[in-house]
């Protein structure tokens, strides 16, 4: 009898705990809209797109219940940003909803400008995708620009630059390249240090569309991407295209365009595959959670129907066994999820390494492609065993071509080492083109040993390299 009483007491305690947990789950655990918003941002940062969007929708409803309009329009704007890649119409509607929420309780003028700018951007995307009118996009973005311009004394020029950049992009999408160029120039003038690189990219693109190739090249050369590999790749690829266009090599430009398009397609395809993988994993996890929750509800209904003492004892034994099994299954599931996460991280790292290898290969291919088609290089290759005479215009063409593909190496040598004579620079150019000492000797009409002596002199006296194990070619490459 004592044992039965103990089991009954244990059963009542377990039922109370279960009811408490059920009530806590149904009430959401007292999480505020702001906390749900922060949880959604963490999920999106971890590439859990579906989970993040679900949390954002819950945060919108929670913020409406709490009357927290500030949090609500921030959440609506973030959800619109998440949906913009695949559904411009939904993003536009959500951003307009965010504007309506803001107007119910306006706070910061800066947030008002940001919302209007987002609406203009999404309206422009929708018009571009569906060949529609850009009137809404221009109306909202111009209003954002006017507010930013009027508030620049208090807010600074960051919002002015962003709205001008948006106007430039919209007019560029409308093929109104002259206005796009005008707005892009103004955006660069107002750009802060953080926004300068993006404003210069838009300006260079507009200059290319207006056939101002020299001006576009000057803008690309002014850009300082730092450690941003993607922006560096964009700058170098566009400089290569501009260099080929100046030489009127249309066939080569078309081939380069195709190569870049294929490379970009591979990159975006990898991103889509990654997103599909994450979405599939999240859907599977949601299904598992739904089935688990359904099983818990069925078990609790069974507990509520037990009224007899014998059924209580049986239910007590069942609960103990179920809890043990649940813990074992939960532990096993956690181990499986951990293994899947490790495998996913490994696959992602491998994909990134493969993308870097493909990018480096493409860049090296373009460099060799440009060098091999230079008329002066072909002339040098064809005259390996005889004297070659190079005119000043030949040297100019070689130096311009090499600077275009080698990050202005020769120009930087002139600036860094003013003691270099013109013939010394020419020797550096020929060495950077990987010509042998014999070929260089044919150009200058001297022996191989004389060429070697000149290289040794420049390495020691000008570059200051005393180590005999370091070659002249290595010194140039390191510089």
* CA dist 48 → 52, 282, 366, 369, 378 (Å): 6, 7, 37, 42, 54
- The model's confidence at residue 20, banded by pLDDT at 50, 70 and 90, is very low
User: ∠141-142-144 over CA atoms, to 5°?
Assistant: 65
Q: If you average pLDDT over residues 365-388, what whole number do you get?
A: 54
Which pLDDT band, with edges at 50, 70 and 90, does 72 fall under? Answer: very high
Range of weakest confidence among 27-36, 407-416, 446-455? 27-36
pLDDT at 269 over 70: no
Confidence of residue 3 (pLDDT cuts 50, 70, 90): low
Predicted local distance difference test score (pLDDT) of residue 165: 93
Average pLDDT score over residue span 287-302: 78
Whether residue 100 has pLDDT greater than 90: yes
Q: Please say whether the beta carbons of 97 and 135 come within 8 A.
A: no
Angle at 218 between CA 217 and CA 219, to 5 degrees: 90
Determine the 3-state secondary structure of 446 from DSSP: coil
Q: d(Cα 280, Cα 299) in Å, to the nearest integer?
A: 29
Q: Is the pLDDT of residue 466 over 80?
A: yes
Mean pLDDT of the 10-28 span: 48
User: What is the C-alpha to C-alpha distance for residues 10 and 21, in angstroms, rounded to an integer?
Assistant: 16
Q: How far is CA 264 from CA 199, 233, 258, 354, 423, in A?
A: 22, 11, 10, 14, 42
pLDDT band at 45 (very low <50, low <70, confident <90, very high): confident
Distance of alpha carbon 380 from alpha carbon 139, whole angstroms: 59
Predicted confidence band of residue 388 (pLDDT cuts 50, 70, 90) = low
Angle between helices 375-382 and 392-405 (to 10 degrees): 110
The model's pLDDT over 189-215, given as tens digits with 9 standing for 90+, comes to 999 888 888 998 899 999 988 888 888
What is the C-alpha end-to-end distance of the chain, expressed in Å?
Answer: 91
The CA-atom distances, in angstroms, between 299 and each of 24, 39, 117, 463 are: 17, 30, 52, 81
- Please report, for residues 72, 329, 354, 362, the alpha-carbon distance to residue 357 in angstroms, rounded to integers and kept in the order given: 44, 42, 5, 9
Mean pLDDT of 204-232: 86
Helix (H, G, I), strand (E, B) or coil at 156: coil
Q: Ramachandran region of residue 412, left (φ > 0), alpha (ψ -120 to 50) or beta?
A: alpha
pLDDT score recorded for residue 432: 86
Phi-psi region of 150 (alpha: psi -120 to 50; beta: other; left: phi over 0): alpha
Asked whether the predicted pLDDT for residue 25 surpasses 70, the reply is no
pLDDT above 70 for 449: yes
CA dihedral 365→369→370→375, nearest 10 degrees, is 160
pLDDT at 262: 52
**Higher model confidence: residue 28 or residue 324?**
324
- CA-nearest of 10, 36, 49 to 276 is 49
SS3 356: helix
pLDDT for the residue numbered 363: 44
Predicted local confidence at residue 102, as pLDDT? 92
Side-chain-facing half-sphere of 156: CA atoms under 13 Å: 7
Q: What is the pLDDT confidence band of residue 413, given thresholds at 50, 70 and 90?
A: confident
Q: Which of 90, 79, 89 is nearest to 53 (CA)?
A: 79
Output the DSSP codes for 47-87. Answer: T-HHHHHHHHHHHHHHHHHHT-HHHHHHHHHHHHHHHTTT-
Q: Report domain extents, the chain.
A: 31-107, 131-201, 375-478
pLDDT-derived band at 9, boundaries 50, 70, 90: low
Q: Lowest mean pLDDT: which of 2-11, 323-332, 334-343? A: 2-11
296 contacts 21 by C-beta, under 8 angstroms? no
Task: Look at 314 and 99; give whichever has higher pLDDT.
Answer: 99
pLDDT score of 255: 46
Helix axes 229-246, 196-209, angle to 10 degrees: 20
Q: Which band of pLDDT confidence, cut at 50, 70 and 90, is reported for residue 304?
A: confident
What is the pLDDT of the chain when averaged over all its residues? 80
Percent of the chain with pLDDT over 90: 21
């Amino acid at each position: 009898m004592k044992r039965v009483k103990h089991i009954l007491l244990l059963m009542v305690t377990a039922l109370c705990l279960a009811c408490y947990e059920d009530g806590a789950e149904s009430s959401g655990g007292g999480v505020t809209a702001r906390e749900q918003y922060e949880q959604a941002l963490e999920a999106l940062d971890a590439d859990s797109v579906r989970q993040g969007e679900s949390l954002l929708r819950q945060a919108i409803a929670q913020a409406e219940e709490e009357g927290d309009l500030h949090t609500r329009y921030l959440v609506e704007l973030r959800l619109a940003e998440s949906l913009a890649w695949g559904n411009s119409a939904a993003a536009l509607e959500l951003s307009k909803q965010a504007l309506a929420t803001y107007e119910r309780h306006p706070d910061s003028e800066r947030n008002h400008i940001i919302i209007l700018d987002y609406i203009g951007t999404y309206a422009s995307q929708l018009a571009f995708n569906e060949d529609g009118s850009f009137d809404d996009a221009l109306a909202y973005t111009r209003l954002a620009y006017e507010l930013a311009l009027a508030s620049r004394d208090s807010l600074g020029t960051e919002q002015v630059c962003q709205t001008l950049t948006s106007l430039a992009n919209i007019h560029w999408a409308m093929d109104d390249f002259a206005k796009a160029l005008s707005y892009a120039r103004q955006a660069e003038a107002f750009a802060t240090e953080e926004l300068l690189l993006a404003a210069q990219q838009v300006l260079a693109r507009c200059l290319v569309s207006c056939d101002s190739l020299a001006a576009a090249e000057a803008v690309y050369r002014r850009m300082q991407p730092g450690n941003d590999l993607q922006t560096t790749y964009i700058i170098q690829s566009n400089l290569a295209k501009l260099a080929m266009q100046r030489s009127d090599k249309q066939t080569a430009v078309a081939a380069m365009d195709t190569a870049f398009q294929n490379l970009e397609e591979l990159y975006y395809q990898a991103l889509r595959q990654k997103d599909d993988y994450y979405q599939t994993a999240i859907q599977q996890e949601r299904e598992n959670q739904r089935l688990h929750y359904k099983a818990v509800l069925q078990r609790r209904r069974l507990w509520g129907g037990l009224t007899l003492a014998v059924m209580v004892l049986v239910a007590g034994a069942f609960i103990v066994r179920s809890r043990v099994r649940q813990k074992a299954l939960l532990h096993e599931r956690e181990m499986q999820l951990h293994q899947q996460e490790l495998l996913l991280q490994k696959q992602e790292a491998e994909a990134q390494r493969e993308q870097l290898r493909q990018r480096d290969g493409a860049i090296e291919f373009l460099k060799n492609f440009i060098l091999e088609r230079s008329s002066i290089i072909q002339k040098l290759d064809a005259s390996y065993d005889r004297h070659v005479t190079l005119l000043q215009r030949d040297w100019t063409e070689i130096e311009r071509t090499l600077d275009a593909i080698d990050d202005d190496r020769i120009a930087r040598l002139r600036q860094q080492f003013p003691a270099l004579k013109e013939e010394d620079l020419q020797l550096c150019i020929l060495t950077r083109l990987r010509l042998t000492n014999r070929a260089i000797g044919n150009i200058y009409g001297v022996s191989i040993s004389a060429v070697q002596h000149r290289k040794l002199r420049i390495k020691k006296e000008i570059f200051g390299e005393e180590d005999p194990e370091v070659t002249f070619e290595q010194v140039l490459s390191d510089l």
